[in-house]
Structure 1
Amino acid sequence: MSALAPAVPRRTPLDSFAGTWHLTRFMLRRDRVRLTVWTVSLLALYAYFVTALSALYPAAEDRQGRAALMEQPASIFLGGPNYGLDDYTIGAMFANEMTLWMIGLLGVMNMFEVVRNTRAEEESGRAEMVRSGAVGRHAAVAASLLTVVFANVVFALLGSALLITAGGLAVADTFALSTAIAVTGLVFAAVALVTSQLTTHGRGATGLGLAVLGFAVLVRGIGDLQAEPGEHGTWLSWLSPIAWAQQMRAYVDLRWWPLALSVVAILVLLALGAFLASKRDFDGALLTGGSGRAEAPSMLSNPLAMSWRQQRIALFWWFLGTFVMFGATGTYLGEGVEDMVDDIAGSNPEAAKMFGDDPLTGFLAIMILYAALAAAGYAIATTLRAKNEEADGRLDITLAKPVSRGRWFAAHLAVVAFGAFVLTMISGALALWAGALVNGEVELATFLKGGAAFLPAVAVFMALTAALYAWVPKITPVVWALFAFTAITGMFGPLFDLPDAVAGISPIWWVGRYPQEPIEPSHMIGLSVVAAVLLVAAFVGFRRRDITS
């Protein structure tokens, strides 16, 4: 009598999600610092902006002056249909002017987190080790989505509480707006799940996701610019998830149904991601490139050329995004807007403090400051890519070749410096000048001189980041804290009336507010010397310490 074969248990769809909860707990624990920093930073921006609006525009007539600015093409591009301009309340102001920025930042956080826990884990080989246990095929994807859902829910609840308590905003509209921002951010998390199936590298998946985000901003902006006065966008606007959040009309005429479009989009993208995942091998991708050349070009043996190749795509997207943004912002400048800015400063003492005696040049000074901050943010983030090269083991392999530490580090920083220069002078100062031409002739030299004045301060940020990485890599997040302090004091320093000893911590403070104030040559020399000293310290520290394998 033959022995009976052992029964094979039938697999169910739920088996594909086995271990999801354990992976979710692991991701939340591993990324708790990263998620906390992101969430707290966004909440601080929430609270800061609503309190700043209340301080700057306490009276209805003050807010109506701001409403006049929101009718400019740049404001429509950035703020959307801009509801409630006839009676511009703090709530309507917050919804019009912050929705796009909060969706963008939250979307970036979500995409980084999803790619980090899916495609990057496959790329590193850790996902294969995890899958060798009792873990389902889709467990990591589900866990990464649950992780960002948890972070977004926390943000929506705490953000709503902040707006209600700090800004005294309506409860229902506040929860609706925060929910819309969070759900739209989850749309881009689902986009990252799809892009993670397409490329073999986490960097490529992130780049595709950011491209989709940028395209959504562009489509919504162009669609709203095409709308006739009184219209609520065009059919093109409605192709962007960002428009769905803005079309809820919080604090003006609240309606919930556009939120359903975001929910449907998330479900469709999740289904598409699951379908694409079933069509590829583990650690594979659907967009696989060709085999490539048998040997790399001889120029790539040069560390400078290699650094350029690694950073050029990121620089392109930074350049494109900042050029569009500052080109649109430049339309606020020029003779056609001068009377409007003068009226705002004349009727609002707090705005007068920010703009100074000449509101138009004060406004220009703030715009050039924004461009410098964007370049400084790029310099910090790109300099820290050296840290990622080391952590992923690629730097160890590179230095095993006939390439010295100093030569590699110098090449990396040279490309960073070039990118920061391009962002400050071309997609910053030059783009502002091009946008200002819409309102009449403006002097190019003023914009270029203002941009050049900030270059030493941007160099200080790059050099400080390099020095921290070279000596104590673990504390490099400190430079982001300095960047946040610089951004807040640079934009709203006159309102705080900080003592020079505190304000001087910011490298930007030493530049001043050109063209509102003259440039002090000694300050430019001092910033340049500080940057040079920090760079020397960075090279000394990088040569002395061990490289992590």
Structure 2
Amino acid sequence: MTTATTAKAPAPAAPVTGGNTLAGTRTLIRFALRRDRIRLPVWILALFLGTLSTAQNYKQLYGDPKDRANVVKTMDSPAGLAMSGPRHYLDDYNFGSMLGHQMLGFMAVLVGLMSVLIITRHTRAEEETGRAELVRSTVVGRHAHLAAALSVAVLANLVLALLLAFGLSGAGIEGIGGTGSLLYGLDHAAVGVVFAAVAAITVQITAHTRGASGMALAVIGVAYVLRAAGDSGSSGALSWLSPIGWAQRTYPYVDNAWWPLLLCLAFAGVCATVGFVLSTRRDVGAGLRPEKLGSPAASDALTTPVGFALRLHRGMLVGFGVGLFVMGAMYGSILGDAEDMLKDIDEIQEALDRIGGSSIAESFASMVMVVITVVAAVYVVMAALRPRSEETAGRAEPLLATGLSRSRWVGSHLATAMGGGTLVLLLAGLGFGVSGAASTGDGGLLLKLVGAALAYAPALWVTVGVAVVLFGWFPRASAAAWVVPVYAFVVGYLGQILQFPDWMNNLSPFGHVPQLPAAEMSWTPLLVLTLVAAGLVWLGLEGFRRRDLETK
């Protein structure tokens, strides 16, 4: 006799409700700070020391009240206000108000960039590489990654604010007091937190780190344009649509109005809340914006290494191209007023005299071209280091497992970096030339400025060569390639005003480029730079062929 038993089916488990969605946030904050133990201090110290040195330079350049009065005259124009800030700063132009007027808008862009990169690095990049899913399989809440990233961004901005407050107030510069310095520092922190919160939204929209960063940086660009358009107009209404405009309207060292910071905090709170809500509307690793269905068959271009690399770089190339065209057009718009703006500033006049040129406009254009070229160098460094990010993310190994050689794979990215860098230079020169020719009434300036921009292409190629040498031989030190554009800006632009010795400028590849249109064209240094770039690229490729690939 057998007895049949039937096991009772288990009751369906009740859905899990509640729970701590922020579980593990504190641990992730410590982990993020550990990972950024070098990156964040470099960012913060660079922003702090740059501001402090600028304040000291103002004391040296404009020590005479007559010099400051001349600056007020030159700045009190639509073009001057668009490049600096609201007119109210000009009412009492001491060293403090000069710092807030000329530096706050520019520094807000850099602080926003730092904050955006913090958020994307510790949220979307973690998801894209698959690490976030692994971490969240443990006791980690759904919102822990975003909360930790925002906390690190807030902490970084507050540290910068305190450094600025104590550093500037203790510098002993007339007109730069403690209250104004604290407000000036908190302005930076408020703007940084706003753009960090904006990035908290963009990382939910797209599944790619570069796309999320690009959208957030586009918001920064729009905020700066709105601020510039509002400050150059009569009413200034557009500036109230920009977080950068809010920060500038605290008027540190002038009125010390604290209430505009509340707008920044309120807007940041709204954006951060939206970011948390949107994160619950998508899966880990996915974005809210659905991926477009591609063609069932790849185009002929995508079957080639260069075509595929160009597709990967397309968004960044378009963004830098548009941005540099606009940047060139903005500088060109003040070219016609350059002589009146700079005629009473002795140090800049001396720098322009050393450059040469048949007119102040040409000399000033040569000086500004260094700034434009440094921004283009930022693009080529990012593009040249793309193979490193592909390698560390594990995407290079499957490609190189096919018949694609290492040299062709890296070479495709380098060709895109060099060709793309030349293209953005062309667009910058075109914007500079069209706007400059219109503001000066000199139509011949168009071709001169386009040629002046393209003359820097070999220096960009050398920058690419430095990046590929580091990638090929010292991959963990690849980030050191950023020293090239930073050094070029310090000695190429600030060095001309502060009269750095010539040997410092000669250490930069940009220091060997003829400073067109003021100087005479010389082909020899451009040919030498091209040969140096070719040698560096060969050396870097040789190093990559010899070393092991980082695998996952």
TM-score, normalised relative to structure 1: 0.91
Whether 1:351 and 2:348 are equivalent positions in the alignment is yes
How far does residue 442 in structure 1 lie from its aligned partner after superposition? 4.3
Residues 167 and 480 (structure 1), Cα distance of their counterparts in 2 relative to 1, 3 Å cut: farther
Question: After the TM superposition, which residues 400-415 of structure 1 pair with which residues of structure 2 at under 5 Å, given as runs?
Answer: 400-415=401-416
CA distance in 2 between partners of 1:294 and 1:10 (Å): 41
Q: Which residue of 2 aligns with 1:451?
A: 453
CA distance in 2 between partners of 1:513 and 1:285 (Å): 46
How far does residue 305 in structure 1 lie from its aligned partner after superposition? 0.8
Question: After the TM superposition, which residues 149-548 of structure 1 pair with which residues of structure 2 at under 5 Å, given as runs?
Answer: 149-166=154-171, 168=173, 169-225=176-232, 227-228=233-234, 231=235, 233-234=236-237, 236-334=238-336, 336-341=337-342, 343-345=343-345, 348=346, 350-356=347-353, 359-427=360-428, 429-436=429-436, 437-443=438-444, 444-548=446-550
Q: Is the 8 A contact 2:377 2:463 kept in 1?
A: yes
How far does residue 219 in structure 1 lie from its aligned partner after superposition? 2.5
How far does residue 315 in structure 1 lie from its aligned partner after superposition? 1.0
Residues 442 and 205 (structure 1), Cα distance of their counterparts in 2 relative to 1, 3 Å cut: same
1:445-487 deviation per Cα after TM superposition (whole angstroms, max 9, x unaligned): 3213322332222221111111221121122233322332221
CA distance in 2 between partners of 1:517 and 1:239 (Å): 42
How far does residue 420 in structure 1 lie from its aligned partner after superposition? 1.0
Residues 495 and 105 (structure 1), Cα distance of their counterparts in 2 relative to 1, 3 Å cut: closer
User: Counterpart of 1:459 in structure 2: which amino acid?
Assistant: W
Q: Is the 8 A contact 2:366 2:517 kept in 1?
A: yes
How far does residue 514 in structure 1 lie from its aligned partner after superposition? 3.2
User: Counterpart of 1:371 in structure 2: which amino acid?
Assistant: I
Residues 490 and 337 (structure 1), Cα distance of their counterparts in 2 relative to 1, 3 Å cut: closer
1:287-319 deviation per Cα after TM superposition (whole angstroms, max 9, x unaligned): 112443333333211111111111111011111
Q: Is the 8 A contact 2:165 2:185 kept in 1?
A: yes
SS in 2 for 1:264: helix
Q: Is the 8 A contact 1:380 1:465 kept in 2?
A: yes
CA distance in 2 between partners of 1:516 and 1:165 (Å): 41
SS in 1 for 2:344: helix
CA distance in 1 between partners of 2:204 and 2:304 (Å): 33
Q: Which residue of 1 aligns with 2:63?
A: 58
Q: Is the 8 A contact 2:85 2:248 kept in 1?
A: yes
1:212-234 deviation per Cα after TM superposition (whole angstroms, max 9, x unaligned): 22222222323333x32xx4x11
CA distance in 2 between partners of 1:160 and 1:134 (Å): 40
Q: Which residue of 2 aligns with 1:132?
A: 137
Residues 72 and 309 (structure 1), Cα distance of their counterparts in 2 relative to 1, 3 Å cut: farther
How far does residue 82 in structure 1 lie from its aligned partner after superposition? 3.4
Q: Is the 8 A contact 2:310 2:416 kept in 1?
A: yes
How far does residue 241 in structure 1 lie from its aligned partner after superposition? 1.2
The gaps in structure 1 that reach 5 residues or longer are none
CA distance in 1 between partners of 2:283 and 2:506 (Å): 55
Q: Is the 8 A contact 1:470 1:545 kept in 2?
A: yes
CA distance in 2 between partners of 1:64 and 1:323 (Å): 33
Residues 198 and 426 (structure 1), Cα distance of their counterparts in 2 relative to 1, 3 Å cut: closer
User: Counterpart of 2:399 in structure 1: which amino acid?
Assistant: T
For residue 147 of structure 1, the aligned residue among 152, 155, 159 is 152
User: Counterpart of 1:375 in structure 2: which amino acid?
Assistant: A
Q: Is the 8 A contact 1:354 1:492 kept in 2?
A: no
Whether 1:122 and 2:123 are equivalent positions in the alignment is no
CA RMSD of aligned residues (A): 2.3
How far does residue 497 in structure 1 lie from its aligned partner after superposition? 4.3
1:53-111 deviation per Cα after TM superposition (whole angstroms, max 9, x unaligned): 22222212212222233233333333232332243222222112211221111111111
CA distance in 1 between partners of 2:254 and 2:498 (Å): 32
Sequence identity, in percent?
A: 35
Q: Which residue of 1 aligns with 2:5?
A: none
Q: Which residue of 2 aligns with 1:42?
A: 47
TM-score, normalised relative to structure 2: 0.91
Q: Is the 8 A contact 1:194 1:273 kept in 2?
A: yes
Q: Is the 8 A contact 2:164 2:184 kept in 1?
A: no
Q: Which residue of 1 aligns with 2:86?
A: 81
Residues 282 and 484 (structure 1), Cα distance of their counterparts in 2 relative to 1, 3 Å cut: closer
CA distance in 1 between partners of 2:505 and 2:202 (Å): 43
